[in-house]
C-alpha cells in the first residue's frame, strides 16, 4: 500500500509540474502549429534508464554512463592531449581466445592483479624467507682461515664507484617499485590514504628519475666486469655442487664464481636490459615511438615481471655480499681483501696472483696503510 501510494503521489506531482510548462509551450506556439484532427504523433524513443534515474535508485552505479562511453568509444572524439590516441577515451573491445568480450585495458588489469602481483609478491617473500632461514641455520660463511696480513686488490676505485652507483639506483627503484605495487596491502592500512597517496606520488617521481641513472650505470657495470664473467671450464662443476655451499669447503673458483657469473648474465645483462628497455619506453624516452596504450600495457607487464625476478635474484646477491660471507662487504667498501679470504672463497684467483698471471694491485692509487696489518679486511 505504501509503495502504491508513493507511486501515485509521484505521478500527481509530475502532472502538476508539467501543467504550467505545457500551458506555456502552447501559448508560444505559432498559429497553425497544432496538428490536424486525427493526427497521431510517432512515439518518442524511451531510453532504458538514464544515468540520472540510475543515480537516484542505485547511488554509485554508473553503468549506463560507461555503457554509453563504451558504445561510442570506437569513434575518436576531441581532446587537447598529445599522442596518437588522444581522442579515444576507451580502448576497443576485442574477443580474446577462451575469454569473454573485453578490451586491452581490462585484460592488462586482470594480468596485473591476478598474476604479476600475487605470484611476484610470493616469489620475493619466499626468497627473503629462505635466505633468513639459511642464515639462521648456517650463519655467515668464511673466516675459517687466519688472516695472513697480506692484502690484494679485489676491486679498483672505478669498479667500486660503478658498482655502488648501480646498487644505489637499483635500491631506489626496487624499494619504490615494491611500495607502489604492494604498499596498499601493508602500508595503506597503517599510515592512511592521504599519507600513502603522497608517499607513492613522491616515490613514483623518484622512480622515474632513478631509472636513467640505473640505465647508464648498468652499461658501465657490464662493460667493466664482462671480461671476468666469461664462462670458464670449472663453472659447470661449481654449479653442480652448489659451490660447496652445503659442505665444509667451497669449490675453487676464479675471481668470480659460477653463481656470480649467473647473476651477471641472467640478472644484470638479460633482466637488467629488459627492465631498462621497458622502463625507458614507459618514460617515453625512446625516440620515434607512438607510445600507444596497448604497447604501454605490454611494456608494463614485461617491466614488472622482469623487475620482480631481478629483485628476487639480487636479494641472494645482496645477502652473500653482506651478511652471508665474512669480509665480502669490506672488499667492496675498501677494494682490498686478505689473501686468506681469497684462498677460502676464490682460490684459483689467488693462485693466479701468486703465479704472476694477475697483478695483486691493478690501480695506481697507494694502498691504505691500515690494510697492511693483519685482520684489516675482516
pTM above 0.85, yes or no: no
Q: What is the DSSP letter of 153?
A: E
Q: How confident is the model at residue 4 (pLDDT cuts 50, 70, 90)?
A: very low
Q: Give dist(CA 196, CA 97) in Å, integer.
A: 38
Torsion over CA: 336, 254, 258, 340 (sign): negative
Higher pLDDT, 362 or 376: 362
Q: How confident is the model at residue 149 (pLDDT cuts 50, 70, 90)?
A: confident
Higher pLDDT, 70 or 358: 358
DSSP-assigned states of every residue in 335-365: SEEEHHHHHHH-HHHHHHHHTTSS-S--SSS
DSSP-assigned states of every residue in 63-115: HHHHHHHHHHTTS-------STTTT-SSPPEEE-TTS-EEEHHHHHHHHIIII
Superfamily of domain 154-372 in CATH is Transmembrane di-heme cytochromes, Chain C (1.20.950.20)
* pLDDT tens digits along 156-166: 999 999 999 99
| pLDDT for residue 237 is more than 50 | yes
Least confident range from 243-247, 252-256, 287-291: namely 243-247
Region 85-106 average pLDDT: 70
Q: Judge contact between 326 and 141, C-beta under 8 A.
A: yes
Q: Judge contact between 157 and 342, C-beta under 8 A.
A: no
Averaged pLDDT score across all residues of the chain? 82
Q: Judge contact between 143 and 327, C-beta under 8 A.
A: yes
How confident is the model at residue 184, as a pLDDT? 94
Q: How confident is the model at residue 18 (pLDDT cuts 50, 70, 90)?
A: very low
| pLDDT for residue 371 is more than 80 | no
| pLDDT for residue 3 is more than 70 | no
Q: How confident is the model at residue 129 (pLDDT cuts 50, 70, 90)?
A: very high
Region 59-68 average pLDDT: 70
% of residues, the chain, pLDDT over 90: 54
How confident is the model at residue 91, as a pLDDT? 76
| pLDDT for residue 204 is more than 80 | yes
Least confident range from 137-146, 147-156, 239-248, 284-293: namely 239-248
Region 169-177 average pLDDT: 97
Q: Which three cell numbers stand for residue 64?
A: 549506463
Picking from 197, 200, 209, the residue whose alpha carbon sits closest to that of residue 177 is 200
Q: Which residue has the cell 605470484?
A: 119
**27 CB neighbour count, 10 Å cutoff:** 7
How confident is the model at residue 75, as a pLDDT? 60
Q: How confident is the model at residue 105 (pLDDT cuts 50, 70, 90)?
A: confident
Helix, coil or strand: residue 284: coil
How confident is the model at residue 224, as a pLDDT? 97
Torsion over CA: 114, 205, 316, 133 (sign): negative
* pLDDT tens digits along 290-340: 888 889 999 999 999 999 999 999 999 999 999 999 999 999 999 999 999
Alpha-carbon distances of 43 from 19, 40, 46, 292, rounded to whole Å: 20, 9, 9, 44
Alpha-carbon distances of 119 from 115, 182, 331, rounded to whole Å: 6, 12, 35
93-95 and 336-338 beta bridge pairing: unpaired
Amino acid at each position: 500500500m505504501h509503495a502504491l501510494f508513493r507511486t501515485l503521489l509521484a505521478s500527481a506531482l509530475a502532472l502538476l509540474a508539467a501543467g504550467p510548462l505545457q500551458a506555456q509551450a502552447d501559448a508560444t506556439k505559432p498559429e497553425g502549429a497544432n496538428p490536424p484532427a486525427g493526427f497521431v504523433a510517432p512515439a518518442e524513443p524511451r531510453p532504458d534508464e538514464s544515468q540520472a534515474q540510475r543515480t537516484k535508485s542505485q547511488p554509485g552505479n554508473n553503468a549506463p554512463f560507461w555503457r554509453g562511453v563504451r558504445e561510442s568509444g570506437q569513434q575518436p572524439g576531441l581532446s587537447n592531449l598529445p599522442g596518437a590516441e588522444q581522442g579515444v577515451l576507451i580502448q576497443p573491445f576485442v574477443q580474446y581466445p577462451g575469454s569473454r568480450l573485453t578490451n586491452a585495458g581490462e585484460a592488462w588489469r586482470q594480468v596485473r592483479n591476478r598474476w604479476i602481483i600475487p605470484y611476484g609478491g610470493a616469489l620475493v617473500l619466499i626468497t627473503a624467507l629462505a635466505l633468513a632461514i639459511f642464515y639462521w641455520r648456517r650463519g655467515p660463511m668464511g673466516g675459517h682461515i687466519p688472516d695472513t696480513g697480506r692484502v690484494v686488490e679485489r676491486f679498483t676505485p672505478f669498479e667500486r664507484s660503478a658498482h655502488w652507483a648501480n646498487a644505489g639506483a637499483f635500491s631506489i627503484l626496487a624499494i619504490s617499485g615494491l611500495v607502489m605495487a604492494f604498499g596498499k596491502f601493508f602500508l595503506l592500512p597503517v599510515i592512511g590514504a592521504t599519507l600513502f597517496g603522497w608517499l607513492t606520488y613522491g616515490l613514483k617521481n623518484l622512480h622515474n628519475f632513478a631509472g636513467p641513472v640505473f640505465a647508464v650505470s648498468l652499461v658501465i657495470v657490464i662493460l667493466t666486469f664482462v671480461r671476468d664473467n666469461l664462462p670458464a671450464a670449472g663453472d659447470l662443476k661449481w654449479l653442480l655442487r652448489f659451490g660447496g655451499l652445503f659442505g665444509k669447503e667451497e669449490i675453487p673458483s676464479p675471481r668470480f664464481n659460477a653463481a656470480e657469473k649467473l647473476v651477471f648474465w641472467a640478472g644484470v645483462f638479460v633482466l637488467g636490459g629488459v627492465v631498462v628497455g621497458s622502463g625507458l619506453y614507459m618514460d617515453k624516452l625512446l625516440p620515434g615511438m607512438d607510445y600507444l596504450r596497448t604497447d604501454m600495457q605490454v611494456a608494463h607487464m614485461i617491466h614488472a615481471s622482469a623487475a620482480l625476478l631481478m629483485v628476487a635474484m639480487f636479494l641472494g646477491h645482496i645477502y652473500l655480499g653482506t651478511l652471508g660471507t665474512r669480509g665480502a662487504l669490506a672488499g667492496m667498501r675498501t677494494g682490498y681483501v686478505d689473501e686468506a679470504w681469497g684462498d677460502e672463497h676464490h682460490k684459483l684467483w689467488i693462485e693466479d696472483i701468486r703465479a704472476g698471471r694477475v697483478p695483486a694491485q691493478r690501480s695506481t692509487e697507494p694502498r691504505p696503510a691500515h690494510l697492511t696489518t693483519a685482520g684489516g679486511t675482516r
